[in-house]
Structures are given as structure tokens and as C-alpha cells.
Amino acid sequence: MFIALSALRMNAQAVEPEKVKSKSEVDTNYVVPLRQYITTRFYLSRKYTNMVLDDSENGLILDYEPNTTLNFGVGATANGFTLNLAYGFKFLNEDVGKGKTRYLDLQSNTYTRKYVIDFFAQFYNGLYLDNTQVLNPDSITPYYLRPDFRIRIFGISFQEVLNERKFSYAAPLVQNEYQKKSAGSFLIGGELTYLYASADSNFIPHFVNDSLFQEVQGIDRLNTFQFGPSGGYAYSLVIRKHFFIMLTINLSLLISSTSFELEGGTNFQEWQLNPNLSTRAAIGYNAKTWYLGTQWVQNNTTVQSVDETVVSSFGIGNFRLNYVKRFLMGPKLKKQINRIPF
């Protein structure tokens, strides 16, 4: 059971076309702000993380996942301020033998006209092996459970949108703007991540042959601190004025201080250079008074083994299905909303 916390998303106020004086203001031939409306939404969402150990030499992976909930939520955006509340109702989450995961997952995505700031803090206790049947066909249970597995991830990333006048992140992801024409933008920025994973015994299950995942056999703890620059490109394709597909690909090259600890207490530490990939995607229909669409935000953090034959990848993300209805504000309500300093 999990209650999703709210996130703030902000968008700088736009001006009418005839008042455009600087390059930082919106071009309303491409983007139409809808700040005169209150944007309300109903949505289904699932936040998640996972840990994948990839043995490239043998073509095998270990895919550890948490048993997270599908959440039903409601929310609203007014004057650039967004509040969302969600809850993982029992009828949406059938117990299928994946064990219990205790977790707190905080994710915040802030979209201004010029900048995107992402923050996440994740605390997961208890995972299951999603591909148990592939690795152990004789297993009498569908999933191998690891209640002793713990993951902690903290991170922040920053991106500058270079074509903010014509490209809007808010249109597909916050729904308080409307992208009239197709447009894209290059992105530059950086990120910082700290990751910690531990268990009471070997990360590798007892039924996996000792000749596999050799470089991480016996490891029961790892942590890494990563930082570095990033760059990418975002594009919104608009079809017949209302249908849209938005995709962002962002690549980071991070300097990493990484350590591994074996069950007996032996510790290995080294500096690495790790490429990380983050993506955002959205698809749907955006009209003046309503919106229907899906959105997906994904960030991958990678850690290499000492000889680079095994790569640990930690996926962090959020998938959401939104139905949005916009209501035009009256003069009195608009005056009160405009006092909100966003």
C-alpha cells in the first residue's frame, strides 16, 4: 500500500504575441498557454525501480523488481502550481506471489519555460526475481523472493531547454499548455546520483551456476556516487493539430566512485566512467478543454563490474495514464489563483 506524494511543476507565465520582446518568451504560433483554465485530472500511475545484472558473456540477466502498487489519483494545476494525490487501492493490485515490498518513492519533475529539474529519493525493502522461471525452470513458485534486498537511490538532474519559445514540456506532461505545431529542442545539463544496494547474502541466487555472473559472485553490497554532464534532444510531433507524440532522449557521461563488498567483508573500490540514459515519452490527444494521454519518465543508472563483463543497471521511472478536463476560471477565482507565486 502506497500513497503518492504531490509534486510541484511550474511554468513561467506567457505573454500575448504582440507583447513578445525577448527570446525567452513563448511563441504562441507554436505553444498556447492555458493559464486562464484550471486543469483537473484523473490518472492511473505506477512508480518503480528495478535492478538488472547483465552477464554479457553468457547472455543472461537477473531482473530484480519491487512489488509496487498501481495507484489511482486525482490532481489539479492552476497558474503553474500542480497538486496530485494518489492511492494504491487493493482492487487494483492483485497478489500474484511477488512477495511484499515496503517502500517510499519520492519523484518530483519541475518544468519551467526554460528548465527541467528532476529529483528522486527511493527507499525499497524486498524484491522478487522477475525472470525466475527462465533461470530456474524447476522452481515450484513463480518468483524467487528476496525480502532481504534493500535499495536506496538519491538523485537530481538539471536540463536547459534551448528552444523554449517553440517547444513545451508542459503540454504533454503537465497539460496546462497546448502544442499547436511540431517542434523540438536540444537539451544541456547535468546530473548527480547516489545509489546503495545491499542484501543479507549473495546478490546471485543459489540456483544459478557458479560459472555465471562470476565477477559479482559473492557480492552482497554496492554503492556508487556519480556526477557529470548530460545532453539530449526532445521533440513533439503534432498530427492534425491535436494528436501528439513526444519523445526525449538524454545521455549522461558520469564519473563514478564505486565500491563492492563481498560476503566475507572484502571490499573493492574503483573509479568508473559510466554512460546513463534517460527518456521521456508521451502520446495522446490534446484539445482546448480536455486531454487524454499516457506519459512515461525513465532514468537508468549503470554500474560496471571490475572487468566490465557484468553491468548492474538500476531503472527509475513512472508511468501514467491521464484524463484531463479544463475549466475556465471566473474573474474572482482567477484573481485569487493569480496570487499564487508560480
Question: Residue 312 and residue 279: Cα distance in Å, rounded?
Answer: 19
Residue 73 has what pLDDT?
A: 95
Q: What is the pLDDT of residues 292-329, one digit of tens each?
A: 999 999 998 888 876 677 888 899 989 999 999 999 88
Residue 332 has what pLDDT?
A: 76
Residue 288 has what pLDDT?
A: 85
Work out whether the CA dihedral 249, 229, 315, 6 comes out positive or negative. Answer: negative
Residue 173 has what pLDDT?
A: 92
Residue that the C-alpha cell 502550481 belongs to: 81
Question: Residue 36 and residue 212: Cα distance in Å, rounded?
Answer: 60
Work out whether the CA dihedral 304, 309, 310, 312 comes out positive or negative. Answer: positive
Which segments in the chain show pLDDT lower than 50?
1-24
Question: Residue 78 and residue 178: Cα distance in Å, rounded?
Answer: 15
